[in-house]
Amino acid sequence: MSATLDCNCSCPTPVVTTVPGTEGATGEAGSNGVSAVATTSGVSAPPSFNKPQTGILVNVDSSAGFYIGEYVTAQDVDGSEPGFFQVDDIPSSTSLSLTYLDITNNANGVGISAGKLISPSGPQYFPGTLPNSFTDQSTGTVSDSIQAGAGVFTLSIPIVMSHVAAAGDILTTYTPGYKFKILKVDAVVSDPATPASKAFDVNLEIDTTNLTGGVIQLTSANCSTQGTVIPGTPIGPNNVGTALQSFSVEASNVVKFDSGQVSLLIKIQNMDTADAIASLAAHIGSNALGNSLINALS
């Protein structure tokens, strides 16, 4: 059986004494940060502008706190209604180039005058940790434009000329599986043809529609020397197919060859690739994220 014991402790309460140390020296004040707000100086923008309007030059006391692609507000002439802009360029340390945004809250006719404030507005992009630098091993030439050859390649189809006995398909319904454009059709002689007075024409069609142009006339005369290139006629409209469409190679006006072989050279552009590159270039070159990414990598 247990019992509660009373404890009448007479121990004294400990006293805590703080011994002060030597006070350290006062640190130096840090440098001032860069202001995110600028003040316009002088009449720097047109008295009024429409939306969307780009390249509006605004002179400011300092552009150091801004970056390309940033969304900003700028007070109008009387300071009552701000306009919403995007920084499209920073020409100098005392100027900004702005785009007047095509949004509901912007009204045509709002201008900017001297002594007004420009400040950040809306969602801002911060790159955070910068990505690793690119290492270019492409051996290509750096350019500010994307050339027309994106996605272009040449498809080679051999034709044994003695096998073409009558008008009809040489190649039937080949489906590339992507949106395509046929740019050019030629033939090159890989085995000379003999004897004389033989001929047939070659043309292409997408589904059941003939290409405009792209016709090659093969004859005993122009197929008599190995390595000869026989050009097709220039290609015009009706040369684009969807990812679900096919193209065929047809022969006509056939006077059967006894020998010889050519390779049909079909220059094709993968338009899915070309469209993807064009879309990427448009987004990187025009929007805030793309411009900020360019700045971060530069």
Q: What is the pTM of this model?
A: 0.55
CATH number (domain holding residue 96): 2.40.10
Nearest to 248 by CA among 210, 212, 216, 218: 210
On whether residue 166 sits in a domain, the answer given is yes
pLDDT for 264: 97
pLDDT reading at 38 higher than 50? yes
On whether residue 48 sits in a domain, the answer given is yes
On whether residue 67 sits in a domain, the answer given is yes
pLDDT in tens, 173-224: 999 999 999 999 999 999 999 888 999 999 999 999 999 999 999 999 999 9
pLDDT for 126: 53
Nearest to 36 by CA among 73, 91, 75: 73
34-43, 160-169, 270-279, range with the lowest pLDDT: 34-43
**Cα pseudo-dihedral 135, 139, 145, 149, rounded to 10:** -130
Domain ends where: 120, 143, 164? Answer: 120
For the chain, the average pLDDT equals 83
Instruction: Judge if 175 and 265 occupy the same domain.
Output: yes
CB atoms within 10 A of CB 103: 11
pLDDT for 214: 95
pLDDT for 215: 97
Q: Which has the higher per-residue pLDDT, 7 or 30?
A: 30
Instruction: Judge if 161 and 103 occupy the same domain.
Output: no
pLDDT reading at 166 higher than 90? yes
Q: Which has the higher per-residue pLDDT, 108 or 288?
A: 108
Count how many domains the chain has: 2
Instruction: Judge if 108 and 161 occupy the same domain.
Output: no
**Cα pseudo-dihedral 132, 138, 142, 143, rounded to 10:** -110
Confidence of residue 34 (pLDDT cuts 50, 70, 90): confident
Instruction: Judge if 109 and 200 occupy the same domain.
Output: no
Instruction: Judge if 103 and 156 occupy the same domain.
Output: no
Domain ends where: 120, 142, 165? Answer: 120
The arithmetic mean of pLDDT across residues 63-92, rounded, is 81
On whether residue 295 sits in a domain, the answer given is no
Host domain of residue 196: 152-271
CB 167 within 8 A of CB 251: yes
Instruction: Judge if 102 and 158 occupy the same domain.
Output: no
On whether residue 280 sits in a domain, the answer given is no
44-53, 60-69, 221-230, range with the lowest pLDDT: 44-53
For tokens 């040489």, the residue is: 170
Instruction: Judge if 261 and 159 occupy the same domain.
Output: yes
pLDDT for 127: 47
